[in-house]
Amino acid sequence: MESITPLLVILCPAIAAVLISISRNKPNIREVWTIAASIVMFALVLSMAPAVVNGAKISYTIFPTMFENINFGFRVDAFGLIFAITTSSLWILVSFYSIGYMRALNEHGQTRFFFFFCLAILGALGVALSSNLLTLFIFYEIITISTYPLIIHEQTPEALKAGHKYFAYLLTSGVFLLFAIMFTYYLTGTTDFIPGGIPALASATQIIAIIIFFCFLLGFLKSAWMPFHSWLPTAMIAPTPVSALLHAVAVVKAGVFGIVRIVCYIYGVDLMQELNLWLVLAIIAGFTMLVASFFAIAQDDLKKRLAYSIISQLSYIILGAAMVTQSGISAAMLYIPFHGYMKITLFLCAGAIMVASGKRRISEMAGLGKTMPVTMLAFSVGAIGMVGLPPVCGFISKLFLCFGAWELFSPYNWIFLAVILISSLLDVIYFFPIIHAAFFKEPIGEGGMSGSYKVKEAPRFMLIPLVITAAISIIFFIHPNTFYIYDLMKIAVGQLFGGV
């Protein structure tokens, strides 16, 4: 089904970036462009869902490349649309939040901030809708380049150092990704995403297929699997809206999205099992889940604790894909939107706390639930969901993940089920003390004396988005098919396992 809609989706943030630059001296108009583009883009993305649920694959070729059988263009399948819906819907909320955040702190360089924010969203949507590895690679690198100015936004020595580290890691990983794409094309004659994998890749020698797979893993370092993770906590020096959308959704999700693409649409379930690559990837994911959780427990800075939590939680997605079972891959796909809404709630709350109270450290947050009740209730929703408890959507994705582990053959089913449960217990250890301190300890006044403060929430432009993301995290639990997410997951998994 040929349609120009995917191109229009990409043009929304591109045009908005130009208009934002032109309106640099008119803040209100500049912000109108941001909001308008985010709403139009989400509407376009969501408009494709009914057709995809009914079995259509929407495609659009922009131009053929010099390589045979490779076009630069888009093909919208069920899995890609899950990521696109997640990113585009959250851009609306973070756009409003960013306006409140940047104005409350009277931040400098606001035009530059919104300009590169649009380009980063463009890259993320391009990754989601790409028809092949080459198109994905180009948009994946657009994310890297456009987020660098956002990370160094403060322009302090620490911010510049963080940006350089970010650039070094991710540009180097791009070399591995390009090598893997070229080698895949050389062996198979295609880079298209094919449900179940590229058949010709199975005829390659085992050692070559394994080397290419590890190059893909190194290429998708935005997924922050250990030990190649240190760029992410360092990059938390960026403004909170950047950490929220780009590090909780667009950047890191592009990394895990890429890994799931490779597992399910380049290698396929059968080849992953034949080469035992599933086990290697599952071990990497399990190791990252546990070790990152221990790092999170040790952090007193709230954003850094959330950063290590991201590293751990992203590996749930990798583990789900690695297990190559129907329930495991279902969990990986559902975790993308569910984790996106839960984690972004936590980051938005962290920014609201900083703006309203000036507090950044967890040790300073005693009694915060009494002074910022709405913010801390939203934070509690996000934290409960990350642990995997009802009535938040994280329960559903973790339940699928446990089913996926149980579908493995013994003894691996017990081992990976234990890893999931232990990691969830560690989530409790680093999230619940924050909630306890906020609601059950007395506020600490100036000079260390106990005292009480008047309720003081962040500005409404910041408060309303975090309430909405928390509410949708619960709505996903009650109705997982919100935004067609559950139907899209079933279509995608069915295609991989021959059910559709």
Whether the predicted pLDDT of 228 surpasses 70? yes
Q: How confident is the model at residue 449 (pLDDT cuts 50, 70, 90)?
A: very low
Read off the pLDDT of residues 20-36 as tens digits, 9 standing for 90 and up: 999 988 989 999 999 99
Lookup: tokens for 118: 């649009």
Q: Which residues pair with 192 in a beta bridge?
A: 132
Average model confidence (pLDDT) across the chain: 92
Whether the predicted pLDDT of 446 surpasses 70? no
Q: How confident is the model at residue 119 (pLDDT cuts 50, 70, 90)?
A: very high
The angle at the Cα of 265, spanning 263 to 268, to the nearest 5 degrees, equals 55
The predicted structure's pLDDT at residue 444 = 66
Lookup: tokens for 276: 């035992």
Is residue 400 a contact partner of residue 323, using CB atoms and an 8 Å limit? no
Is residue 107 a contact partner of residue 233, using CB atoms and an 8 Å limit? no
Domain boundaries, the chain: 5-496
The predicted structure's pLDDT at residue 65 = 84
Whether the predicted pLDDT of 107 surpasses 90? no
Read off the pLDDT of residues 246-273 as tens digits, 9 standing for 90 and up: 667 788 899 999 999 999 999 999 999 9
Please state, in angstroms and rounded to a whole number, the distance separating the CA atoms of residues 23 and 6: 26
Across the range 221-247, mean pLDDT stands at 85
Residue whose C-alpha is closest to residue 421's, from 260, 293, 259, 253:
293
Cα 489–chain centre separation: 17
- Sign (positive or negative) of CA dihedral 235, 239, 245, 248: positive
Percent of the chain topping pLDDT 90 = 77
Whether the predicted pLDDT of 214 surpasses 70? yes
Is residue 150 a contact partner of residue 120, using CB atoms and an 8 Å limit? yes
Q: How confident is the model at residue 296 (pLDDT cuts 50, 70, 90)?
A: very high
Percent of the chain topping pLDDT 70 = 97
Please state, in angstroms and rounded to a whole number, the distance separating the CA atoms of residues 251 and 139: 11
Q: How confident is the model at residue 500 (pLDDT cuts 50, 70, 90)?
A: very low
Residue whose C-alpha is closest to residue 90's, from 302, 383, 309, 347:
347
Please state, in angstroms and rounded to a whole number, the distance separating the CA atoms of residues 394 and 298: 23
Across the range 432-445, mean pLDDT stands at 88
Is residue 238 a contact partner of residue 153, using CB atoms and an 8 Å limit? yes
Across the range 450-464, mean pLDDT stands at 78
Amino acid in the structure at residue 480? P
Residue whose C-alpha is closest to residue 25's, from 123, 129, 110:
110
Cα 96–chain centre separation: 19
Q: Which residues pair with 2 in a beta bridge?
A: 59
Q: How confident is the model at residue 452 (pLDDT cuts 50, 70, 90)?
A: low
Q: How confident is the model at residue 48 (pLDDT cuts 50, 70, 90)?
A: very high
Q: Could you give the angle at which helices 27-47 and 5-22 cross, rounded to 10 degrees?
A: 180
**156-185 in b/e burial notation, b at 16+ Cβ within 10 A?**
eeebeebbebbbebbeebbebbbbbbbbbb
Q: Which residues pair with 450 in a beta bridge?
A: 444
